[in-house]
């Protein structure tokens, strides 16, 4: 860690200048601990899941809102806005959850590494 070269995050592969204490994903360069990243990415994945579920619910409620609105042009406009929102939420939520889950896998792999190092060091 003493060499002044740029740092590459082991969780999300983003590059940072030397001596950056922590990546935006939560990986700690100083302690090499992915613990905070695991916690953060877990939250991010759950948030993504909530967004795409919201999109799905909005899509399923499309006919309800459509027939609840009395006048014809207003109903079409409301339905259109609802459709755009539902598709947007579903796509964004799925992308967010997928990206967070991939990084979470990387972070969890890193969490298992220090234990392996200790075992190797313990052998004479």
Tell me which residues touch Zn ion (CB under 5 A): 9, 11-12, 23, 25, 27
The answer to whether 31 touches 69, Cβ cutoff 8 Å, is no
- If DSSP codes are grouped into helix, strand and coil, which group holds residue 103? helix
- In whole angstroms, the minimum distance from the beta carbon of 98 to Zn ion comes to 16
- In whole angstroms, the minimum distance from the beta carbon of 24 to Zn ion comes to 6
Of the two residues 23 and 58, which places its CB atom closer to Zn ion in the complex? 23
Left (φ > 0), alpha (ψ -120 to 50) or beta: where does 67 sit?
alpha
- In whole angstroms, the minimum distance from the beta carbon of 92 to Zn ion comes to 21
The answer to whether 57 touches 27, Cβ cutoff 8 Å, is no
Of the two residues 45 and 58, which places its CB atom closer to Zn ion in the complex? 45
């Amino acid at each position: 860690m003493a060499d002044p070269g740029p740092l590459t995050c082991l969780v999300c592969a983003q590059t940072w200048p030397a001596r950056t204490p922590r990546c935006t994903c939560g990986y700690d360069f100083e302690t090499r601990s992915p613990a905070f990243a695991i916690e953060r990415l877990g939250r991010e994945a759950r948030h993504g899941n909530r967004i795409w579920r919201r999109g799905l619910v909005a899509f399923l409620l499309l006919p309800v809102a459509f027939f609840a609105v009395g006048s014809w042009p207003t109903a079409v406009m409301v339905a259109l806005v609802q459709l755009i929102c539902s598709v947007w939420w579903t796509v964004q939520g799925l992308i967010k959850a997928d990206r967070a889950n991939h990084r979470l896998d990387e972070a969890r792999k890193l969490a298992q590494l220090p234990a392996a190092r200790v075992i190797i060091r313990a052998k004479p």
